Structure 1
Amino acid sequence: MSHPSPMSRRQVVPMAEPGAGAGAEPEPGAEAGAPPPMAELQGRCRLTVEPVLFLAMLALALQAPLTTQYIFSTLSAERGFGGNRSHGCNWTAGPEAAREQEIEVLTAHWNLYINLGGFAVGLFSVTLLGPWSDRVGRRPILILPAIGLALQAAVYIIVMYQKLSVGYFLIGRLLSGLLGDFNTILAGCFSYIADVSDKQSRTLRVAVLEACLGIAGMLGSIIGGQWSKAQGYINPFWLVLALNLATVAYALVFVRESVSVNGSGKLFTTEHYRSVYHLYSSGKETGRRLRIWLYALSLFVVVTVHFGVKDILVIFELSSPLCWESDLIGYGSAVEHLTYLSSLLGLKVMQPCIEDSWIAQIGLVSNMAGLVVFSLAWATPLMFTGYALRFLAMCTTPVIRAKMSKLAETTEQGAMFASVACVESACSLVSTAVFNSLYPATIYFMKGFAFLFGAAMLLIPIATIGIVRCSETEAPYHRFEDTPRVVPVSLNSDATSNQTEEI
């Protein structure tokens, strides 16, 4: 064998495909119950976890606005406020105006208490379940949260039938949070897509999942609005229960596992928390740590504004000067969810000619424009104008999720999306606390101030995404690039030698 020349020379060894590992035994998929090879999943799995996310989101879109309306209606009845819309509802002064504002404040506070309880518990469960799925597979973290959501719907039905205090809704939220809540289903679905997609298609596949959220949200909003207006609040919750049970059944029967299952994976161990911590503490030499932190900050602000606005939109629309009823609230929520589809279309059109970071920035500007109009809306046409201006608002989150996924190893996808779910759970906590406190505090001098506050917050991700874009231009990160990996190996044990062979 010839010796290397004094000059450095390069021998290139291509990176292994995702899911492949050194020393892997041949044909692991031949065993009963074992997942198929990753190449097979990547090649022919067009429809995978999309129905899971669709069914879960359809149930959530039915449940969330109806829960707020039920709380508002129950508290109004307890305090003798009818909100007599047949004689108009634009209360500007007098006892009716004061009573309506009192109901709005109480509804916002009950939303705060119920959501805080569920999100606080879910913050810890999702951190366990996400990294756990890297060892035991993705299917368990699709099934367990769906069971929790079904239990929550059952508790809500009991509360409504028995006409119990709205405080009992907290029991259902805690049960759902213990089993992971909706954020864990999100983490599981996005992790699954990261398992079965390559770098080039990942942003679009993530956007397709987000579009499933939009379609389901649109249908759920329209169905819930019309149904509750015709038959009240209880019957739609039976559909919520059925949809969550259908999610469990689909994940059990039709979802094929995307990772090699290690039956020895323990759930209750601090190793899962350490794996998430490792993502945010390693990779200093490549800039990975800084980029993950900045993307996480951007996602935190964007999702906080998104959740916070959703929390107060229904209350804003129920009260004067809009005084919307259930059907109109359903249409408004449907248009809101239509942004998932319009954003997917915009992403697909813009991707060939615009870099992803710029697409995210365009989405943020669209979001800000809509929120500013919301803050000034005094009539229904102006409110729908705000919805229309936000038609690209959901371009931002799939870009951020995809970029964070590309910064993680193939064996870290569960931990990465668990950390994303933790960020979103933290967003739920912060948004509920901030917006459900800010809205009643500012209702007396500017009813739409909370929307202006949300628009101002979006300046933060505009700045952070710009910073990351500049750093990527200077030093691109190649973990998921198609170029071969280069590893320097010393050819001389002499400490003074600078000769290296790159493999």
Structure 2
Amino acid sequence: MGCVDLIEPVVGINAFSMFMTYPLLQQYVHRRLWMQLSGSPFPTDWNNIHCADNLTLIHAEVQKEASLFFLYTELCFLFPSLLSSPLLVSYSDVWGRKAAIVPPLVGNLLFTLCYFVVSGFSLSLSYLLGAAFITGILGGSAALTGGCFAYVADRCEQGSGDGGVARGISQDRMRRGDNYEESDSGYEERQVGEDGSHDRVRDRCEERGETGTDESQDTGTYVYTRAKTVRMASLDMILGLLSGLASLSTGFFIHAAGFTWPGLTAALLHLLNLGYVLFVLRESLNPPSTTLSSSSGFSPKVLISRCPKGKVLISRLQGVYLIFASGTRRKKAAVGLMMAAFALYKISQLGGMSVFILYELNKPLCWNEVLIGCSSALTTVIHVGSFAGVSVLSHCLRDTHIILLGLLSVSTGLLIAAFAKTTLVMFLVRLPLILSAMPSAVLRSMMSKAALSSEQGALFAGIAFVEMLSMGVALMVFNSIYATTVSWFSGFSFLLALCLSIIAAALIGVLMYFSLDEEEEDMSRLTAEEDDIDTDCSRGSLNLTQWECD
């Protein structure tokens, strides 16, 4: 079901809803703790009474308790999501990308509804911990992001020439009911000969290898890879643009209507997004129906349903592991370095940004909700600038050079934030951060190039796991460090994030030094892998039942 191929509205609406919730939750918890610890209501006027000198001790205690509460919330969310997010994204290779997109949207809807009830009836904050746990079970933001990026990879390949044509032919034949089976490299098509024997007609890897390696194909490959990088950067831009607008509107929304109605608004947006995915968005994959080839036993859905659940779980996790463990030594080294740099970049960026609001609420800034909303809205400049940077720089620079520029932008912004003591300087911090979102999209695109089309779900499942782990480590570590250091140097967390971004840049430097990032070598490794797949196909078909269940 569905008639539209645009995944961007899903990313945009989810970003707007979530970034209405994040600053809302932080400020609400801050005020609730203020009321509990001080015994008096939080000042609601536009001045900075809550930062008066006689309330310094209470203010420091509130900052500490709020930071610890967010640490507990992240722990409740992190552990279940570490297992569920890679499973959902890897299953999307068989069940379609919506399998990785719908459950996180349901989790986000439940969390915002829980917040609405807690804030509306002044219930215990402990209910939010339970809601965070349920959200983690349903995959969280990492599963949603992985599913959306895998959707983009599917669409880019389907429109990229030979690979896309082959994939389309395969899906058309499956819809017509041709016999097929699934191998490690994708769907292998078969037809029944006159003598009743099953003769292999063609598989996806043969169709891709049939076109040769002429100059026009090389040009098409360059255009395809650049288009994938730009399309993924556009998702990051939409995420940042809508999140900034949400942060800006939330500040005024809180000031006008309090903390309850913004939560209900976010829940309604999640519900709208869920309806779009279920009824409007077209599936990028066309997984075979359970009725197709059931007599031959080749339907992945039928076979998976016949397997014990534990073995299916183990097989999907093994598929994710093999993405990063198989291949040549140079490929494994390149993917490992890129994944490590991606993790350090995410820890640096998310860890540093996670304490921005607490830092702005603290002395000497003592911002109110409107200033916080305006400051958070400036993240739109960051993501728009990063998208423009990727779009322009990809014409003249290698991917690794773009990543290094992005890491330099992160480091410079964090250094200035660590010593920002005035409102003007804190607003200007976003200016050097204008290219800081570039490494995320470019690293995803580089890793996506190292996987075949049938492995995109498993690849982004691994990326989702690393991203979720990085997010958990960042929020836990930086909230703990901020709670410990807020009394003597509140900018210490930014300096720690700066050091991590420098280490990530060093890993990219190693990648460049050993020439592991060259596109020619990447393409040769992919060609070698497809040749190996083709050789395996010629020896006979893979028995999927034994592969999944034995």
CA separation in 2, counterparts of 1:169 and 1:485? Answer: 48
CA separation in 1, counterparts of 2:18 and 2:380? Answer: 12
CA separation in 1, counterparts of 2:493 and 2:353? Answer: 11
Q: Which residue identity lines up with residue 211 of structure 1 in the other structure?
A: M
Flag the 1:180–1:132 CA change in 2: closer, same or farther, 3 A.
same
Alignment of 1:109-124 (within 5 A): 109-124=68-83
User: What SS class does the counterpart of residue 516 from structure 2 fall into?
Assistant: helix
Cα shift readout 1:6-64 (whole Å, capped 9, x = no counterpart): xxxxxxxxxxxxxxxxxxxxxxxxxxx7x99xxxxxxxx8x521111111111111001
Q: Tell me how far 1:422 sits from its aligned partner.
A: 0.6
Q: Which residue identity lines up with residue 287 of structure 2 in the other structure?
A: V
Flag the 1:63–1:325 CA change in 2: closer, same or farther, 3 A.
same
Asked whether 1:129 is paired with 2:88, we answer yes
User: What SS class does the counterpart of residue 389 from structure 1 fall into?
Assistant: coil
CA separation in 2, counterparts of 1:90 and 1:128? Answer: 46
Flag the 1:315–1:82 CA change in 2: closer, same or farther, 3 A.
farther
Which residue pairs with 1:75 in the alignment?
33
Q: Which residue identity lines up with residue 417 of structure 1 in the other structure?
A: F
TM-score scaled by length of structure 1: 0.84
Q: Which residue identity lines up with residue 191 of structure 1 in the other structure?
A: A
Q: Which residue identity lines up with residue 314 of structure 2 in the other structure?
A: T
Which residue pairs with 2:15 in the alignment?
57
Which residue pairs with 1:290 in the alignment?
333
User: What SS class does the counterpart of residue 424 from structure 1 fall into?
Assistant: helix
Cα shift readout 1:337-373 (whole Å, capped 9, x = no counterpart): 4211110011112111111110110011111111111
- Candidates 445, 453, 464, aligned match of 1:410: 453
Cα shift readout 1:104-152 (whole Å, capped 9, x = no counterpart): 0000000000111112111110121111000010012211110111011
User: What SS class does the counterpart of residue 476 from structure 1 fall into?
Assistant: helix
Q: Which residue identity lines up with residue 102 of structure 2 in the other structure?
A: I
Which residue pairs with 1:395 in the alignment?
438
Q: Is the 8 A contact 1:66 1:224 kept in 2?
A: yes
Q: Is the 8 A contact 2:407 2:439 kept in 1?
A: yes
CA separation in 1, counterparts of 2:525 and 2:246? Answer: 37
Q: Tell me how far 1:459 sits from its aligned partner.
A: 0.8
Which residue pairs with 1:160 in the alignment?
119
Which 10-residue stretch deviates more, 267-276 or 381-390? Answer: 267-276
Which residue pairs with 1:16 in the alignment?
none
Asked whether 1:105 is paired with 2:64, we answer yes
Asked whether 1:219 is paired with 2:245, we answer yes
Alignment of 1:211-360 (within 5 A): 211-262=237-288, 263-264=301-302, 265=304, 269-285=313-329, 287-360=330-403
Q: Tell me how far 1:87 sits from its aligned partner.
A: 5.9
CA separation in 2, counterparts of 1:429 and 1:483? Answer: 37
Which residue pairs with 1:201 in the alignment?
227
Which 10-residue stretch deviates more, 366-375 or 251-260? Answer: 251-260
Cα shift readout 1:243-280 (whole Å, capped 9, x = no counterpart): 11111111112221112314334576211110111112
Which residue pairs with 2:291 in the alignment?
none
- Candidates 117, 128, 133, aligned match of 1:174: 133
Q: Is the 8 A contact 1:110 1:167 kept in 2?
A: no
Q: Is the 8 A contact 1:56 1:182 kept in 2?
A: no
Q: Is the 8 A contact 1:214 1:340 kept in 2?
A: yes
Which residue pairs with 1:423 in the alignment?
466
Which residue pairs with 2:192 in the alignment?
none
CA separation in 2, counterparts of 1:376 and 1:83? Answer: 28
User: What SS class does the counterpart of residue 324 from structure 1 fall into?
Assistant: coil
CA separation in 2, counterparts of 1:241 and 1:205? Answer: 28
Identity %: 27
CA separation in 1, counterparts of 2:348 and 2:526? Answer: 33
User: What SS class does the counterpart of residue 388 from structure 1 fall into?
Assistant: coil
CA separation in 2, counterparts of 1:427 and 1:87? Answer: 35
User: What SS class does the counterpart of residue 130 from structure 1 fall into?
Assistant: helix
CA separation in 2, counterparts of 1:381 and 1:398? Answer: 30
Flag the 1:86–1:209 CA change in 2: closer, same or farther, 3 A.
closer
CA separation in 1, counterparts of 2:465 and 2:528? Answer: 32
After TM superposition, what 4+ stretches of structure 1 lie above 2 angstroms from structure 2?
A: 81-92, 262-268, 469-475, 479-489
CA separation in 2, counterparts of 1:208 and 1:466? Answer: 26
Q: Is the 8 A contact 1:116 1:432 kept in 2?
A: no
Q: Tell me how far 1:196 sits from its aligned partner.
A: 1.1
* Structure 1: gaps (5+ residues): 1-32, 37-44, 490-503
Q: Tell me how far 1:480 sits from its aligned partner.
A: 8.2
* Structure 2: gaps (5+ residues): 157-223, 289-300, 536-550
Q: Is the 8 A contact 1:407 1:479 kept in 2?
A: no
Q: Which residue identity lines up with residue 49 of structure 1 in the other structure?
A: I
Q: Which residue identity lines up with residue 129 of structure 2 in the other structure?
A: L
Q: Tell me how far 1:429 sits from its aligned partner.
A: 1.4
CA separation in 1, counterparts of 2:398 and 2:378? Answer: 27
User: What SS class does the counterpart of residue 428 from structure 2 fall into?
Assistant: helix
CA separation in 2, counterparts of 1:204 and 1:106? Answer: 42
Q: Tell me how far 1:200 sits from its aligned partner.
A: 3.2
Q: Is the 8 A contact 2:450 2:526 kept in 1?
A: no
Alignment of 1:444-455 (within 5 A): 444-455=487-498
User: What SS class does the counterpart of residue 400 from structure 1 fall into?
Assistant: helix
Asked whether 1:381 is paired with 2:381, we answer no
User: What SS class does the counterpart of residue 393 from structure 1 fall into?
Assistant: coil
CA separation in 2, counterparts of 1:86 and 1:200? Answer: 50
Flag the 1:248–1:225 CA change in 2: closer, same or farther, 3 A.
same
Asked whether 1:476 is paired with 2:521, we answer yes
Q: Is the 8 A contact 1:138 1:257 kept in 2?
A: yes
Which residue pairs with 1:190 in the alignment?
149
